[in-house]
Amino acid sequence: MEKKIMKSIPSVGIRVLAAAPVALAATWCLASPAGAVPQGTTTITWQCQGTVFGVDQTSTLTAQVAGDAPTSAAGGSAVTIKLTPLATAVPASSNGFNVNNIHDLQVITPYPAGATFVSATASGGSVAATIDTSGGKIALNVAGPIAGGASFTLPAETINVTAGASGSITSTYAGTSYADAGMTLTSNVDTVLGPLDVPISCYPDPKPTFTTTTIGGAAAPGVAQPPKTN
């Protein structure tokens, strides 16, 4: 629902209120550069929301992650899951607004279902990141900033778990709503009032499944998962 603007706001502020959501939507449109897509790659659609000058704006962005895990594992055995994000790009500008950078990016992976979490590490990628494994989740944190117009690749996550007694082990990204986000970031854009930081919250819809390991029988070596369409 559109929010009313008080008459006491200066006219320049009204113009910013009208134009800023358009520019904000553009800052969410991270895109995966063209190129070969590894086997086992899943495309994620993030539903995103940000608020600028009290006005909510929603948009979507897509990203890709290549998942690798054993197809089967014996109950109680050690299982390693690897999630490798593909390259993505930050837009440089849109509708006359410059995108200065994005920063304070966090992507959350829940502990894989059907297993006991052991450890997780981050490696590779083109941006520095830290990893926090407390509270039943794996949070990949990138302080940034990552400049507008730049291409970047998030580090891969290697997740070690112990298989349960039966069922299957699955990996996904967290998030069920804007309030329960699986990814958050701050986008800094130029406005007529100067640079503005816009906090953005996102959740994946539909929920992706990166890897599935069936528990039972002899352990199988790690192989790339079949291509996903979700």
Domain boundaries, the chain: 11-221
- 35-60 average pLDDT score: 80
In this model, does residue 205 exceed pLDDT 60?
Answer: yes
Q: Interior CA angle at 54 toward 47 and 6, to 5°?
A: 150
* Structure confidence by residue, pLDDT tens digits, 22-36: 444 444 445 554 444
Rounded CA-CA distance 17/7 in Å is 13
Calculate the average pLDDT of the chain.
82
* % of the chain with per-residue pLDDT over 70: 76
DSSP 208: P
Q: How far is CA 8 from CA 2, 11, 19, in A?
A: 18, 9, 18
Q: How far is CA 119 from CA 107, 131, 156, in A?
A: 17, 11, 14
What is the structure's pLDDT at 68?
96
**Residue 112 region, left (φ>0) first, then alpha (ψ -120 to 50), else beta?**
beta
What is the structure's pLDDT at 75?
96
Q: Picking from 15-24, 146-155, 170-179, which range would have the lowest pLDDT averaged per residue? A: 15-24
pTM of the model: 0.80
Second CATH level (architecture) for the domain 11-221: Sandwich (2.60)
User: Which amino acid is present at 146?
Assistant: I
